[in-house]
Amino acid sequence: MLKESLTRLRFLFSRRTRSELDAELAFHLEEQTRANMAAGMSAGAARRQARIDFGGVERAREQCHEARPRYRLEMLVQDVLYSLRGFRRSPVFTITVIATLMLGIGATTAVFSVVDRILFRSLPYAHSDRLVSLGIVHSLETQEFVMGNFYYEWRANQRPFEALTSESTGPSECDLTERSPAQLSCESVEGNLLPTLGVSPVVGRNFLPEESRAGGPNVALISYGLWLNRFGLDRRILNKTINIDGHPVQVVGVLPKEFEMPRLESADVLYPFQIDEVANRKENGGYGSPRRIFARLKPGVTVEQARQEMEPLFQESLKQVPADIRKQMHLMVRSMRDKQMQDVRVAAWVLFGAVLAVMLIACANVASLLMARGAGRRRELAVRSALGASRGRLVAQALTESMLLALSGAVAGCLLAEGLLRLFVAIAPGNVPYLSQVHLDLRIVCFAVLVAVLCGLLFGLAPVFEKPGAEMLAGRSGRNATRASLRQWLVISQIAASMVLLTGAMLLVRSFWNLEHEQLGVRADRTLTVSVTLGSYNYGTSQSRMAFFRELEKRLRFGPGVNGVAVSDSVPPEDFHIGAQRIEDIVVEGRPRPHEASGELVKFRRVSPDYFRTLDIPIVLGEGFTDAERGSQQHFAVLSKALAERLFPGQNAVGQRMQIGSGDANPASYTVVGVAADVKNGGLTGEQLPEYYRLRRDQAEDWECCGHWGQTAVVILRSSLPAEALSPWIRTQVAAIDPALSVDTATMRQRMSKLVDGPRFQTILLGFFAVTGLTLAVIGLYGVISFLVAQRTQEIGVRMALGATRVGILQLVCARSLRLIAWGAGTGLLAALGVSRVLSSLLYGVGVRDPLTLIVVTLVLVAVAFVATLIPARAAAQVDPMVALRCE
């Protein structure tokens, strides 16, 4: 086989002279003549007979030529050159096809590369399709969790899972207390987390059973990132102890580079749970410490089956929960993928649909253009066929042409995709998972190119397989009717598809507009927030936390241009759930405690007195907090207007006293000193909840709180200086108190803009698709109408000769195109109404059937499409009847 190829290759490069073949054939004829003469023929007759026996000399010569290995290559070169000449002759056609393919392939590939990571990529765990996250959800916590006691019961009695594992919900800040201290995040996990996920350490080992018991040795797994940055990938790390929060910890292993925690949180250090179960059962009010749990399904068990099997255990556990909270709790079991992707999924599917629509429009365009070209070239084909071109040659030629177009489109498309991908990464919000790792996927590129090539082949070859009739040579075209109607259908579906895209994009734009112009109720200009999270080792006591933030507040108060400083534990409008409680936990003095649980939630913040002034939240009633109250022994509160109206309808809330605390034996009594205007507090799109503010006094008890949340506080600054100038100064001030802390500064504007990052991303992407789709559809419509006009030039000439006016001709052409537009827009409108429902979870402040959107989109589409037909229609009206009649 190899030898044969080599021989062919040799002949490919050696050039055979034509004279050699001539000599060979001449020798044959002479020998035959000689033989004939020897048989007794005359010289003339012998020569004649020899030629007859031989057959066509020229034909033999050609066949020898075709047998050469070079022949096909030469034909290919010829075809390519011919196609290129053809492209140069009709540059508009060529550029349109390539641009269409470029847009189609580019957009499809880029977006699919992003969506693929979100929807279809495999998680970095073994058999990740069998991993689930499960637990209880309720109105205060929408991410599933489980109490320790429940977990022990579930683990002992469950059937659907191969293994259950858990991690703590607790604080994760920790400090590397070594020569150069650093803040890390440390997670505590059950010893079997890695085996359950199907992951093994790259260096070292997983936790041993004796290390996952109460009183076990201090051991940890560290992340690849920490290993790289801190220890330079030194394998001797395994014998080292590192100092975390003042304790020596032995490193037993390093996690793989691509490892991700099940909740995608960052973790530099993993500790094994060293929990005494018996003791733990009594903790946390007798519920056990809360966990996040994950499980591996047994083979063949579905998520839904698992949920049904766990339901009895869940109901059993619920019996331990007070009856009024019970009905707000639900069991949730969902796949790990769903857990990790949260609501990004819907957006991803929407994008995917948009991509398909654009691809459809692009393909319809290419098909339509190629058909038009094919119809225009039937005469050329007929001539070539008449001159002796075989069907094979014509097919090869058409194939070459289609492939050239498809490949140039594909190359351009890949370049576009690469550019788009960079653009996406640049504008995407931080919460789109894995976006930074996205790259052009070769499979996707191949898929898009394949679709384009198939589409090109199908419609590029169609004209060749039509038998070129004799009438084509005469230039009469009569059989275009079916093709024309197919193309019209294509245009209708293009318009319909872009109508759907435009509607979706328009709805998102309106929703985005609503978000951007949302009244927040707080001041956003020239307001800077400084968020600091303290390590629980250095700042374990409430005293030390208070001291730190008081010191920071004092230092910042004297900053350049600063004219307001407040300290709070959180800042609106961000959504936070920890500072929330049930409304039943607020008991107004002099009223009975309500028995019935309403499920209503109230938010609260702990703030310093200047909070309202710094954020420009007006106090509508009463005084608000005063600096003097900071030193008081009493508790003070300010209610939001909504809460004041809820608790004290028609009454003056100021001066009322209420007891706040959930079921505590000794709830604190708060005096209401004012009512503040409402602010957005459920994120930009979330429900706005009633809210109250507790004065955070200079008392250690006000700095006592729960886990992570108690370690973080936000200093809000109002300054006449721009944020960029102020931030470095703030950092030096924090570093002056404690150089190991990390500081997160952001203006209120930035915080808000971050909240609309997601919607902005979706809007831009879908808008991009809508514009692409519309452009392609308009090109398609233009192409069809101008083709129809070109075909009817003669007819138009006759009409004009018979007295038709230019206006009449204009109407004739426009009426036809308007029919197409009306059909397309009508179908598109129906489809849009059906499809836009999937967008509902992405929209804010606008319905999925928003009439304004539908009207505007219809008008825009009709107007743009109409302009696209006016150009060829005007050309038709300019037809000179004399020229038209003579032209054929």
Structure tokens at 155: 């683990």
Give the number of other CB atoms < 10 A from CB of residue 163. Answer: 19
Q: 3-state class of 738 per DSSP? A: coil
73 lines the binding site for other proteins (CB under 8 A): no
Beta 619-622 vs 668-676: how paired, if at all?
antiparallel
| Contacting range for other proteins; rule: CB under 8 A; set: 26-34, 102-110, 562-570, 609-617 | 26-34
Q: Shortest Cβ distance from residue 55 to other proteins (Å)?
A: 3
368 lines the binding site for other proteins (CB under 8 A): no
Closer by beta carbon to other proteins, 11 or else 82: 11
Q: Please check whether residue 22 is in contact with residue 65, taking contact to mean a CB–CB distance below 8 angstroms.
A: no
Q: Give dist(CA 216, CA 210) in Å, integer.
A: 6
Closer by beta carbon to other proteins, 35 or else 126: 35
4 lines the binding site for other proteins (CB under 8 A): yes
Q: Shortest Cβ distance from residue 5 to other proteins (Å)?
A: 9
Closer by beta carbon to other proteins, 51 or else 874: 51
Q: Shortest Cβ distance from residue 372 to other proteins (Å)?
A: 39
Query: Quick one: 23 exposed, middle or buried, by C-beta within 10 A (0-12, 13-18, 19+)?
Result: exposed
Q: Shortest Cβ distance from residue 63 to other proteins (Å)?
A: 4
Q: Shortest Cβ distance from residue 61 to other proteins (Å)?
A: 8
7 lines the binding site for other proteins (CB under 8 A): yes
74 lines the binding site for other proteins (CB under 8 A): no
67 lines the binding site for other proteins (CB under 8 A): yes
Closer by beta carbon to other proteins, 7 or else 652: 7
Residue 829, CA distances (Å) to 199, 437, 800, 859, 861 in order = 50, 38, 38, 12, 11
Closer by beta carbon to other proteins, 70 or else 263: 70
From the list 506, 503, 488, the residue with the least C-alpha distance to 821 is 488
Amino acid at 356: L
31 lines the binding site for other proteins (CB under 8 A): yes
Structure tokens at 567: 């300290």
One residue of 53, 276, 704, 880 binding other proteins per CB under 8 A: 53
Q: 3-state class of 757 per DSSP? A: helix
Q: Give dist(CA 65, CA 72) in Å, integer.
A: 10
Q: 3-state class of 30 per DSSP? A: helix
210 lines the binding site for other proteins (CB under 8 A): no
Paired strand residues for 297: 161
- Residue identified by tokens 């990529």 is 121
Q: Give dist(CA 207, CA 269) in Å, integer.
A: 13
Q: Shortest Cβ distance from residue 29 to other proteins (Å)?
A: 9
Residue 606, CA distances (Å) to 173, 227, 274, 610 in order = 21, 39, 34, 12
57 lines the binding site for other proteins (CB under 8 A): yes
Phi, psi of 636 (to 5 degrees): -130, 150
- The 3-class secondary structure across 658-727, one letter per residue, is EEECCCCCCCEEEEEEEEECCCCCCCCCCCCCCEEEEECCCCHHHHCCCHHHHHEEEEEEEECCCHHHHH
From the list 670, 644, 777, 686, the residue with the least C-alpha distance to 362 is 777
Strand (E) or helix (H) holding 620: strand 619-622
| Contacting range for other proteins; rule: CB under 8 A; set: 2-10, 144-152, 456-464, 573-581 | 2-10
One residue of 22, 30, 380, 701 binding other proteins per CB under 8 A: 30
From the list 173, 190, 193, the residue with the least C-alpha distance to 182 is 173
| Contacting range for other proteins; rule: CB under 8 A; set: 31-39, 90-98, 279-287, 759-767 | 31-39
8 lines the binding site for other proteins (CB under 8 A): yes
63 lines the binding site for other proteins (CB under 8 A): yes
Phi, psi of 564 (to 5 degrees): -175, 130
Closer by beta carbon to other proteins, 69 or else 707: 69
Q: Give dist(CA 816, CA 693) in Å, integer.
A: 67
| Contacting range for other proteins; rule: CB under 8 A; set: 29-37, 342-350, 523-531, 609-617 | 29-37
Closer by beta carbon to other proteins, 20 or else 525: 20
| Contacting range for other proteins; rule: CB under 8 A; set: 60-68, 80-88, 634-642, 760-768 | 60-68
Closer by beta carbon to other proteins, 68 or else 749: 68
Q: Give dist(CA 696, CA 676) in Å, integer.
A: 17
From the list 112, 111, 104, 108, the residue with the least C-alpha distance to 366 is 104
Alpha-carbon 8 to chain mean position: 52
Region for residue 146 given its phi and psi (left: phi exceeds 0; alpha: psi -120 to 50; beta: otherwise): beta
| Contacting range for other proteins; rule: CB under 8 A; set: 20-28, 120-128, 419-427, 710-718 | 20-28
One residue of 59, 205, 479, 554 binding other proteins per CB under 8 A: 59
One residue of 42, 43, 66, 419 binding other proteins per CB under 8 A: 66
651 lines the binding site for other proteins (CB under 8 A): no
18 lines the binding site for other proteins (CB under 8 A): no
Burial 638-651 (b: 16+ CB within 10 A, else e): bbbbbbbbebbeee
32 lines the binding site for other proteins (CB under 8 A): yes
Angle at 177 between CA 172 and CA 183, to 5 degrees: 40
120 lines the binding site for other proteins (CB under 8 A): no
Closer by beta carbon to other proteins, 62 or else 258: 62
Is the CA virtual torsion 179, 183, 184, 188 positive or negative? positive
Closer by beta carbon to other proteins, 23 or else 43: 23
Q: Shortest Cβ distance from residue 464 to other proteins (Å)?
A: 24
Q: Shortest Cβ distance from residue 6 to other proteins (Å)?
A: 8
Q: Shortest Cβ distance from residue 19 to other proteins (Å)?
A: 12
Q: Shortest Cβ distance from residue 113 to other proteins (Å)?
A: 46
Q: Shortest Cβ distance from residue 35 to other proteins (Å)?
A: 8
Q: Which residues within the stretch 488-527 sit at the binding site for other proteins (CB under 8 A)?
A: none
One residue of 48, 69, 263, 309 binding other proteins per CB under 8 A: 69
22 lines the binding site for other proteins (CB under 8 A): no
Closer by beta carbon to other proteins, 246 or else 392: 392
Q: Please check whether residue 518 is in contact with residue 680, taking contact to mean a CB–CB distance below 8 angstroms.
A: yes
DSSP secondary structure, 180-247, as one string: S-EEEEEEEE-TTHHHHHT---SEE----GGGGSTT---EEEE-HHHHHHHHTT-GGGGG-EEEETTE
| Contacting range for other proteins; rule: CB under 8 A; set: 61-69, 305-313, 575-583, 678-686 | 61-69
One residue of 41, 48, 49, 54 binding other proteins per CB under 8 A: 54
258 lines the binding site for other proteins (CB under 8 A): no
326 lines the binding site for other proteins (CB under 8 A): no
One residue of 56, 560, 561, 663 binding other proteins per CB under 8 A: 56
Q: Shortest Cβ distance from residue 73 to other proteins (Å)?
A: 13
Contacts with other proteins: how many residues (CB under 8 A)? 31
23 lines the binding site for other proteins (CB under 8 A): yes
Q: Give dist(CA 873, CA 875) in Å, integer.
A: 5
72 lines the binding site for other proteins (CB under 8 A): no
3 lines the binding site for other proteins (CB under 8 A): yes
Q: Give dist(CA 787, CA 534) in Å, integer.
A: 72
Closer by beta carbon to other proteins, 64 or else 771: 64
Site residues (vs other proteins, CB under 8 A): 3-4, 6-8, 11, 20-21, 23-25, 27-28, 30-32, 34-35, 53-57, 59-60, 63-64, 66-69
